[in-house]
Amino acid sequence: MNKQKVTLELPRDIYDSLYQISRSSGWSFEDVVLRTMRNGMPPSLKKVPEYLHGVLLALNEEDDNELWDILSGRAEAPDPPTDEINEEDFTAMWRAYAFSLLKWRGHPIPDPHEFIR
């Protein structure tokens, strides 16, 4: 593949988000930036309580098949990391983050009715 080197200054919040995904996924920062350019920004945790960040970011380590299992309900959600959130809300957020990761990774996402168990 023919490449062109680019120097770019990013706003700190965008850099931090991309770096966080890079660290949690094990992908290089360059791979995260390239994927982002192809598919848009990775899922944001700005509106998610801080106490949930770790468990959601851990989903970046999962391969696509594992994320599909989460999304389809074939994988059981871990226990909520705190009693500040109930199990149903946590499971919904966990599955929504898996959904967002699959979409960001470039997968076509089926209609919601296809996920009903």
pLDDT tens readout for residues 60-102: 999 999 999 999 899 999 999 999 999 999 999 999 999 999 9
Distance (Å, whole) CA 34 – CA 40: 10
Buried b (16+ CB within 10 A) or exposed e, 65-89: eebbebbeeebebeebeeeebeeee
What's the pLDDT at 117?
A: 54
Average pLDDT along the chain: 90
Residue 108's pLDDT band, with cuts at 50, 70 and 90, is confident
pTM for this prediction:
0.73
Question: Where would I find the H helices in 1-117?
Answer: 12-25, 29-39, 50-57, 64-72, 87-104
Q: What percent of the chain has pLDDT over 70?
A: 94
